[in-house]
Amino acid sequence: MNKKLIALILGLFMLLSVLFTGCNGSNNTETGTGEDNPTEQSGERKVMTLSLWLPTDPSTTQAAVKKVEKALNEITELKFSTHLEIHAIPDGEYQEAIDAKIDSIADVEQRIKRESESLKQKEIELAEQGIRMDEYVEPETEAETDEETVETMIDEEGEAVSVYPEVREDQLDIFLIRGYDNYKRYAESELAEMLDSELTGNSRLLRTYIYPSFLECVNQGGIYAIPNNHVIGEYQYLLINKELADKYDYDESEFDSLEFTESGSGKFKIGSFANCLNFIVDIGDMHLDGVTPLLGDVEVGNMVYFSSDGNWSLLGDRIQPDYSYKYNIDTSELVTTLDLPIVTEVNRTMKQLEALGYVGDGTVKEGEKFAVGVVKGDFTLKEKYQDDYYIKIHAVPYADEDDIFASMFAVSPYTKSVSRSMEIITYLNTNETFRTILQYGVQGVHWDIDPNNPDVIIKRSDDYKMNIVDTGNIFMTYPDYGVPMSYWDDAKQQNLDSATSPYVGFEYLTDNNLEEYGKLAALSAKVKAQLDESTYENYQKVANTWKRELVDNTIIKNMLKEKESEMEDPFVSMLQAYLKSK
């Protein structure tokens, strides 16, 4: 065999051993802590290049991205000896690009594996002939390796500067995960690194910047991504017309809710509800021109329906702000939606008001007003209504899966370093300057400080546009052009007012029960239609008739019964197991 060919084979063999080490996230050669890195222990920090993949608006240009990349690297190279290579992908193409990159790395690994096996076989064949592969390596031929070395070059000012290595073909470092399904897929497929040790180590500062429930909910046997802190859910605000309440001597402090509340004994405390109800009826009885007594139909707040599509279902419950579940899970005392007294009472009351003609369609024409109403939205609604209405919190915001898993930065197992990647993620969540560059671009090029208001920024260019939730902790940068940082004060209060649904991550739809949920959806739609069509006088009769029917209904019994075999997935058994695990 030609000696140069043998030399090339040996060189490739040595290269493969390095590549295999780099492709395994648990064997990253760089820890970033100094504990396992002699170079960093001695005070010298090895230079490294990491890739950051994230979605962007289609209007963003690559020229703008390069300017942002340069500005970010002026910070990361000085602070972390880390160079960032930014991959900004148009939003609609992002998920496909990430999956394609992961697949391409897998292809590289398979190719390397095949070539490695071929080389090992060649080594065996040579050994059988009494030949060692290295005997054929010419002395002047050195095997190439993938080891990164600290190189320098002289810049324009005559200073020695570090030269950063290029990102390898089989390298993926920091990427954005959006949605619970993607998060679960990457975690279960080991395509995202577990970050628990980082969150108790060098990146523990993140725990003081990220909403605690976010980290609790993404912990699915481990934390595999860092949620970007953002505003949670939406309020249901109860609005009381100031002019009408004051004119007819109603004390606004008496209005706290438009729902019945329950005491520990199960009895209704109807004072606040009665105050609102009396006010609505009084205004309605006066038939004031241009005044709608009740803006629109009001349903029981904070209900969660267990259905295949999220619509109203006979299986559901009202989540309490303290996360408590109304019924005793240990004894499977779960009842249907119709068995919740508060649902019946509120629905009957709405029927009564509708019969009187006191309930609007949820909208008012210009120049008209309403006496009482419930509106949904974030904290900005207060500014819209505060001049004309007393504002109470009818229902607090709830963080659900869409909120919690909206946008998260993860570290790939194909990274050069988990710890160095986490340094970047931590900085995006804790440093205003770094965070603002990634979101808005380069100061003086894409944006600048408003000369008339140092607390806001103004736009200078349209060629760089990012989604603020996808670039890190939103509270560490400006809310928008022309909007001061103080805007976040109410947003942070909204998060403090919020609760987290205890059912986040409760996956109750399976192959075994999907057919049953289809039947449940059809039955629920039938019941809901009859309840909607009923009048105040016969609502209770319709509800009671269905409650008796549901006691022996096969569909409901199948969903609520105890699990009797591994082939069954009834709702109660799954719910029991899930809530007990929390």
Q: If you search the block for the tokens 């019994």, which residue do you land on?
A: 557
Domains of the chain: 35-97+150-229+409-426 (3.40.190.10), 234-300+340-396 (no CATH), 305-317+324-338+509-582 (no CATH)
The two three-digit tokens of residue 59, written as one number: 């209007």
**Is the distance from CB of 445 to CB of 460 less than 8 angstroms?**
yes
Q: Are strands 499-500 and 398-399 parallel, antiparallel or unpaired?
A: parallel
Q: How far is CA 510 from the centre of its chain?
A: 23
**Is the distance from CB of 473 to CB of 229 less than 8 angstroms?**
yes
**Average pLDDT along the chain, 582 residues, taken 10 residues at a time:** 42 41 41 38 75 98 97 96 97 96 79 63 67 54 43 61 86 96 94 96 93 88 95 91 93 66 40 73 93 91 77 80 47 70 84 93 88 92 93 85 94 96 97 97 97 95 97 97 95 88 78 82 94 93 92 80 57 70 64
Residue 410 per-residue DSSP state: E
For residue 123, the model assigns a pLDDT of 67
What SS3 class is residue 316? strand
The two three-digit tokens of residue 570, written as one number: 């009834």
The two three-digit tokens of residue 133, written as one number: 């592969």
For residue 334, the model assigns a pLDDT of 58
CA–CA dist 295, 364 (Å, integer)? 8
For residue 381, the model assigns a pLDDT of 92
For residue 457, the model assigns a pLDDT of 97
**Is the distance from CB of 294 to CB of 279 less than 8 angstroms?**
no
For residue 553, the model assigns a pLDDT of 87
What SS3 class is residue 308? coil
Degrees to nearest 5, angle at CA 188 with 495 and 90: 65
pTM: 0.78
DSSP-H helix ranges across 255-295: 271-286
For residue 39, the model assigns a pLDDT of 37
